[in-house]
Structure 1
Amino acid sequence: MLQLAHVISSTRAEAGMRKLSLGSFSMANSNLVIILYFSFFTFAEAEALHSQLKQQIQDQEKLPFVGVNIGTDVSNLPSASDLVAFLQLQKITHVRIYDANSDILKTLSGTKIRVIISVPNNQLLAIGSSNSTAASWIDRNVVAYYPQTLISGISVGDEVLTTVPSSAPLILPAVESLYNALVASNLHQHIKVSTPHAASIILDPFPPSQAYFNQSLVSVILPLLQFLSRTGSPLTMNLYPYYVFMQNKGVVPLDNALFKPLTPNKEMVDPNTLLHYTNVLDAMVDAAYFSMKNLNITDVAVLVTETGWPAKGDSKEPYATKDNADTYNSNLIRHVFDRTGTPLHPETTSSVFIYELFNEDLRAPPVSEANWGLFYGNTSPAYLLHVSGIGTFLANDTTNQTYCIAMDGFDSKTLQAALDWACGPGRANCSEIQPGETCFQPNNVKNHASYAFDSYYQKEGKAQGTCDFKGLAMITTTDPSHGSCIFPGSKKVSNKTKEVVNSTISSSAGEKLRFKTFNSIKISAIGNILHILLVAYLPTLLVVLL
């Protein structure tokens, strides 16, 4: 349009100057050529800018994320409008629902929240045995809402191979029928189709290098994996370190299940690969990758559709506590946004959906079944996550109480060197651990180092990497204060208002970088537009004036 405008303007300018000499006319033509040249050049620049923005958006969409599952066995479940408003308040950008609830899909329209919808197990027979039924399902539940509602995937059934094995033969036909219906609507590049599996389809999961799919299920799993490979869809797995720990107490340490920092001697080591595992979830994800590799599938990513930790249990579930649930989910969120991948695939970080948003109080026993939620149905938090420093995701972190302490298992000489650095070059406030002061007792290097480490950590604003001290320190949500000794982290939490503000506006270095980059692109875009206008119209204006 700009080029056409230039031609029209130039033509009109020439028409008004018919009495000019041949030399003047030639000059006007020369100007026209220059205008067209620069218009083409700046148009190419604009095209390149558009491609750059488009690529950045695509790259952003590929970044690992943390989403939430939304179950509906809740006695006081919020209305669809209240639910979506709550999701936006909490900065939750990805959700998964267990059906294709029309009210929720309508209300998500126009938001930036991406949703995975589901085909319940009881609909597999109809969809798997009829292409027209699958096409109708896609028309009714996808085409009717997309792209205003950002449907990103379809979960076909849930743990079918282990919960309703008689329906196993229906999985692949249902998945393929739905995919073909998406192709017919030209949506297959935007919406992925898969089916979530229980971790139990994988046998001998540790060490991960020895893991393999249950041989009795391979006749179903292999063609399904080939479909996922062909369509660029993920292998979706429901992975619960909680159950791994409960079933292997005494073998799997609790700290490994909770993502707690470990000394090297406590890390799990795969004897075949010598890969070190600091948490159970990474081992479970890598077990899935090794299992696929055994079937010659190496290009399918793992998406964790369910993971979490219950905050309450009966007498047989003593580890289902709020503290453990807080620790697991907080560390899980940090782990994903750190983008460190797994030992086998450090370049690939699996996205996860936390199970679940709300406590489903209508669930049948055991008690833990009703206590997986981050929130109660009235949207009050079931417990307070400690997720400050990773952006605004889940803005219910209102305490920001994390501390940096010395880890167990290190000799006094090593700790003393770190303590000396913290109190010296690190400029931590170590006055409280001097003789006669409130934190001098107990008088040992580990206690003094913990205080100094926390002082430095708090002074540096809990920035990433400030609680490390060459592997001697760890972050904890448990207040290390004792008696009259108040640690620096506890001295700051009395001002609750300040903490709430900090937790809802804090952002990671990565997010700051992305924000800066996006702003730079916006400024560049404005500059390019001004450049286009200036180059395009100034010569024309000069022609008219001359």
Structure 2
Amino acid sequence: MANSNNFILLISFLSFSFLSISTSGETEQKGPFVGVNIGTDVENMPATSDIVSFLQLQKITHVRLYDANPDILKSLSGTKIRVIISVPNNQLLAIGSSNTTAASWIQRNVVAYYPQTLITGISVGDEVLTTVYSSAPLLLPAMESLYNALVSSNLHQQIKVSTPHAASIILDPFPPSQAFFNQTLVDVLLPILQFLSKTESPLMMNLYPYYVFMQNKGVVPLDNALFKPVTPNKEMVDPNTLLHYTNVLDAMIDSAYFSMKNLNVTDVVVLVTETGWPSKGDSKEPYATKDNADTYNSNLIKHVFDHSGTPLHPEATSSVFIYELFNEDLRSPPVSEANWGLFYGNTTAVYLLHVSGIGTFLANDTTNQTYCIAMDGFDSKTLQAALDWACGPGRANCSEIQPGESCYKPNNVKNHASYAFDSYYQKEGKSPGSCDFKGVAMITTTDPITCPRNYMQSHVPATICSQPHL
């Protein structure tokens, strides 16, 4: 994901009235899909075979890689998980200036795995026009050379070639009908759009309502950014088309369609290659919370599977890739950069999505048995404070972690905290935010507690848990 500066959206219209792409041939499932991006800046990254097993467990059917990792591609063989692979920006020069190099890249990274591994697309570069503009002249030649190599292998119908753009290539995106591409980029963009039209490939866009909200607080309501239901008087109305927008992402997608229309391109669909919401941030990002991340991604998933499209194109629902599968804990500050994942690197959930009733996507849901435990790496004093709150004001049932009771051993603060945290989490119906305890708890699908529980017993007063459990 590019730095947030690349997502600044210039808003000249401030009086809102609140005032699936088929890319892999006949075997591709119909309708829009939700996939996940897999970044690798993770300190304890699972083995590739474990990642693929985890994807299958979570019923994730589409992934996007930031390279063409051979181990992952090999592990995906025979799984029916569809994958978009990428050409990193530092390879554009070689591929864009040599048809032979492009053909070799396709042979090595596509032909060697397809069709056992269902490669559906190639994303060429990443936000090149806004991050490494010096490479912009190489972008279309690289795309054309890769496409021609696919034609030579008779794979151009199954595998589409495109390039992801930052939202900031579109200026004045609100109202969507007045949006237009940055004029300084049009000479590069128009030939790319014509290539996408000719090859029936999507326009890849990285769209983050989080940054729109953060940079326009007071103009864009949080509920609209989070896909929350809004009353008619809080809908965003485009005065030129009278189209009503209930969420920011639809408005961003339609701003891309209007921008393309301004260049007489009307037959290219939008694929959202990145979107999401961070679950943690520093003091400057108070809206980066687990609750908001849960709300955004859960509502996003439901929105896609509702097949409701956008106000401009209700017949065409864009598929999306959530940014991202794992928290990339090796990312540089700000804090939010390391906290976009649905899962930690150890595959435990950062938070539980609430997507019941939308099909089989993601086992990480409230329908599954989940538990709340104390995280590693915190000192006893910090855990003790959280434990005292859970057993006191939180009214968790802590009777069985008292001396002589069935869950007293092992007698250490982490074990007792896990028991109390889980008691509170279950009592609260696993609601969003009920497994946090100021950041010292996490959700897991593996029950770590072997002693018998009895959460139906009467709650115990805070004084019982106030003694140290060391």
Query: What interval of TM-score do these two structures reach, taking the shorter chain for normalisation?
Result: 0.7 to 0.9
- The residue number in structure 2 matching 1:184 is 152
Query: Could you say if the C-alpha distance between residues 399 and 320 of structure 1 is closer, same or farther in structure 2, counting changes exceeding 3 Å?
Result: farther
Q: CA–CA distance in 2 between the matches of 1:115 and 1:488?
A: 35
- The residue number in structure 1 matching 2:34 is 66
User: Given the alignment, which residue of 187, 206, 210 partners 1:238?
Assistant: 206
Total equivalences in the alignment: 352
1:375 aligns with 2:335: no
Deviation at 1:113, TM superposition (A): 0.1
- The residue number in structure 2 matching 1:291 is 259
SS in 2 for 1:61: coil
- The residue number in structure 2 matching 1:316 is 284
- The residue number in structure 2 matching 1:386 is 354
TM-score normalised by L of structure 1:
0.63
Q: CA–CA distance in 1 between the matches of 2:34 and 2:98?
A: 35
Q: CA–CA distance in 1 between the matches of 2:368 and 2:345?
A: 24
TM-score normalised by L of structure 2:
0.73
Query: Could you say if the C-alpha distance between residues 400 and 264 of structure 1 is closer, same or farther in structure 2, counting changes exceeding 3 Å?
Result: farther
User: What is the Cα-based RMSD across aligned positions, in Å?
Assistant: 1.9
- The residue number in structure 2 matching 1:141 is 109
Q: CA–CA distance in 2 between the matches of 1:348 and 1:88?
A: 27
User: Retained in 2: the 8 A contact 1:386–1:400?
Assistant: no
- 1:298-313 equivalences under 5 Å are 298-313=266-281
1:123 aligns with 2:91: yes
Q: CA–CA distance in 1 between the matches of 2:268 and 2:73?
A: 28
Deviation at 1:487, TM superposition (A): 11
Q: CA–CA distance in 2 between the matches of 1:58 and 1:131?
A: 29
- The residue number in structure 2 matching 1:261 is 229
Q: CA–CA distance in 1 between the matches of 2:118 and 2:241?
A: 40
- 1:31-430 equivalences under 5 Å are 58=26, 61-398=29-366
Task: Please state which structure has a larger fraction of its residues in helix.
Answer: 1
Deviation at 1:61, TM superposition (A): 2.6
Query: Could you say if the C-alpha distance between residues 487 and 88 of structure 1 is closer, same or farther in structure 2, counting changes exceeding 3 Å?
Result: closer
SS in 1 for 2:218: coil
Q: CA–CA distance in 2 between the matches of 1:400 and 1:165?
A: 46
Q: CA–CA distance in 1 between the matches of 2:27 and 2:116?
A: 21
Q: CA–CA distance in 2 between the matches of 1:88 and 1:256?
A: 32
Q: CA–CA distance in 1 between the matches of 2:167 and 2:128?
A: 12
Structure 1 residue runs of 4 or more that deviate by more than 6 Å after TM superposition: 486-490
SS in 1 for 2:325: coil
- 1:491-530 equivalences under 5 Å are none
Deviation at 1:60, TM superposition (A): 5.8
Deviation at 1:391, TM superposition (A): 1.3
Give CA deviations for 1:386-424 in whole Å, capped at 9, x if unaligned. Answer: 0111112111113689xxxxxxxxxxxxxxxxxxxxxxx
Give CA deviations for 1:120-160 in whole Å, capped at 9, x if unaligned. Answer: 00000000000000000000000000000000000000000
User: Retained in 2: the 8 A contact 1:71–1:357?
Assistant: yes
Q: CA–CA distance in 2 between the matches of 1:62 and 1:267?
A: 30
Q: CA–CA distance in 1 between the matches of 2:342 and 2:428?
A: 28
Q: CA–CA distance in 2 between the matches of 1:99 and 1:132?
A: 19
Give CA deviations for 1:101-123 in whole Å, capped at 9, x if unaligned. Answer: 00000010011100000000000
User: Retained in 2: the 8 A contact 1:206–1:283?
Assistant: yes
SS in 2 for 1:96: strand
Query: Could you say if the C-alpha distance between residues 488 and 241 of structure 1 is closer, same or farther in structure 2, counting changes exceeding 3 Å?
Result: closer
**Structure 1 stretches lacking a partner, 5+ long:** 1-56, 402-485, 494-499, 501-546
